A and B are shown apart, each in its own frame.
Chain A
Amino acid sequence: MSSDTTPAERLAAFLARTPYIAFLGMRAELAGDEMTAILPFSPHLIGNTLLPALHGGVLGAFMEMTALAQLAVITGGPRPAKTIDVTIDYLRPGRAMDTYARAQIKKAGRRISSVHVEAWQEARAKPVAAIRGHFQMPTEG
């Protein structure tokens, strides 16, 4: 854990260094130690034009990036954590609108961390999707 940067600086550095996050158009805000990730709606995120609905892969990827961002907030090094596995639950269709996500680090290990993420649109209590994942923590230095 590093103390020479602030959580906000670590979050901004993670978001800025990842090209795929720019591809998604994802951003994130910190309120104290609580991070909310935001995926503004954009037509290129659509997977089903009939409904229309966000691509399920986009929702999964957004939540995975949310987990990595939350881990970047608590770790100091410049390297991001690496995904070992994720299990994605699809609960409701992801509609053509902004999506939000929050991560809970269930265990912050020295080598491996376990993170849960929920994503929602209109109501926090009605999540559209959730993931559980394990992540390999970056080695220091």
Chain B
Amino acid sequence: MVKPPDFIAAMTGSLNEEAARHMVTRTPQTEALGFQFVSISEARGAIRVPWRADLVGDPETGVIASGVVTTLLDHVCGLSIRAADAVPQGTLDLRIDYMRPARPQADLIADGHCYKLTRTIAFVRALAHDGDPDDPVATAQAAFALIGGGA
């Protein structure tokens, strides 16, 4: 199957904004969740997921399910690694702490930072918030294996 060039660009090489946007919005799962590209900068990335009724975890509260936060944080970690010009092969582990419920019907924004790269591993921190990054909904710490690292 021939892949579109922007998909290849999103997976390898240096990350421009168009490739980053593609990585965030065009994989089947992130498209299904409605992820929106926010920004990339050196070793950092940000993604938004708009609130939607079918993504709710507890209908009595109307808060987005923690499972959506898991995928959001995993994806923003991968985006941050790409923004550090490395290519993630896959997540090794991902630890998530849920500090508080998101506000009902609130969009969520995730910020990731790839703070250390070795030849084989990327170490990433991320948080998800509903408007104020200083009052996060969840924080994450992850390690990813890198492609081309000989792991």
Could you list which residues of chain A lie within 8 angstroms of chain B, going by C-beta atoms?
Answer: 17-20, 22-24, 43-50, 53-58, 60-62, 64-65, 79-80, 82-90, 93
Mostly, the A contact residues are: mixed
Q: Find the residue from B58, B70, B75 having the highest chain A CB count within 10 A.
A: B70
Is the beta-carbon distance between A19 and B53 smaller than 8 angstroms? Answer: yes
Could you list which residues of chain B lie within 8 angstroms of chain A, going by C-beta atoms?
Answer: 3, 7, 11, 27-32, 53-60, 64-68, 70-75, 90-98, 101
Chain A positions within 8 Å of B71 at CB level: 55-58, 60-61
A99 to chain B, nearest CB (A): 13
A25 to chain B, nearest CB (A): 11
**Could you write out 18 A-B pairs with CB less than 8 Å apart?**
A19-B57, A19-B65, A20-B57, A20-B68, A22-B54, A24-B67, A43-B28, A44-B32, A47-B75, A55-B29, A58-B29, A60-B67, A61-B66, A61-B67, A62-B67, A80-B57, A87-B93, A90-B90
A65's partner among B55, B67, B90, B97 (CB-CB below 8 A) is: B67
Chain B positions within 8 Å of A61 at CB level: 65-68, 70-71
Is the beta-carbon distance between B27 and A46 smaller than 8 angstroms? Answer: yes
B55's partner among A23, A44, A46, A54 (CB-CB below 8 A) is: A23
B27's partner among A17, A47, A82 (CB-CB below 8 A) is: A47
Chain B: CB-nearest residue to A84: B98
